[in-house]
Amino acid sequence: SSSSSAPIYVMDAKETVIALADGSNNIISDGKSYVFVDPAGEEPNAAIFSKSDLTIYGGGSLTVNGNYDDGIAGKDGLVIAGGLITVTAVDDGIRGKDYLVVKDGTLTVKAGGDGLKADNEDDATLGYVSIENGKFTIDADGDAITGQTDVLILDGDFTLTSGGGSSASIAETLSAKAIKAAANLMIAGGNFVINAADDAIHSNSNVLINGGSFTVASGDDGIHADANLT
């Protein structure tokens, strides 16, 4: 834990790996205020913060309490390949910049901002979210899962709540979608239980759904594509 900064702060590395030993219970907590190492960039701003590519895997558990801003944040790519991961964050729960890839694991996220997120705005080939498998329980005041470009989901079990659910009233300026892609959104399979204040499944471009089971409650559209919906 740290009362004034990120307990885990990767400043300069080619690649970083956090291995969760089988049977281990790991708890990371930051304080409600930071003394910034980089005041101009206001960094770090997450309980686990990495400027390099970060991978988290293993058979243990990881509990992250982001009391200042984000829970887990990577300034490059972020890969989660396993583990029992629980994140509570004032803002975003788990955020990669170039990409967020989840290969497996059990993820429980409670976020005051977005739940799972990739947000590179400078490169059209990056800022994507890819989920191969896993079990996800996400309750986000903003979007539950969001990509600056594409979102690809191959399989998994998803219980997603955004913006307080379908009966909640949200500001017009707030995005509180369950799954959102600024570019293409593709779902090949998985089980989805969605309760969204805004659109449940949304793309600013194309949506392609080629499998899966969906139970949806939405305060706006169930499935929305600005371009093609297939």
- Per-residue pLDDT, averaged over 130-155, amounts to 98
Which two structure tokens, joined as six digits, stand for 29? Answer: 């907590």
- Per-residue pLDDT, averaged over 22-44, amounts to 91
pLDDT of residue 42: 85
**Closest by Cα among 152, 159, 165 to 196:** 165
Which two structure tokens, joined as six digits, stand for 199? Answer: 């659109």
- Per-residue pLDDT, averaged over 104-128, amounts to 94
Weakest-pLDDT range from 40-44, 51-55, 192-196: 40-44
Nearest 10 degrees: Cα torsion 81, 86, 92, 95: -10
Which two structure tokens, joined as six digits, stand for 209? Answer: 């759904």
Listing DSSP states for 23-44 in one string gives T-EEEEE--SS---SBTTTTB-
Kindly tell me if the per-residue pLDDT of 34 is higher than 90.
yes
- Per-residue pLDDT, averaged over 113-118, amounts to 98
pLDDT band at 124 (very low <50, low <70, confident <90, very high): confident
Kindly tell me if the per-residue pLDDT of 125 is higher than 90.
no
Specify whether the backbone of 40 is left (phi greater than 0), alpha (psi in -120 to 50) or beta.
Answer: alpha
Q: What is the pLDDT of residues 170-197, one digit of tens each?
A: 998 899 999 999 999 999 999 999 999 9
pLDDT of residue 24: 98
User: Cα–Cα–Cα angle for 126, 132, 135, nearest 5°?
Assistant: 120
Q: What is the pLDDT of residues 73-84, one digit of tens each?
A: 999 999 999 999
Task: Note whether 60 and 83 are within 8 A (CB).
Answer: yes
Kindly tell me if the per-residue pLDDT of 102 is higher than 90.
yes
Task: Kindly report the pTM of this predicted structure.
Answer: 0.96
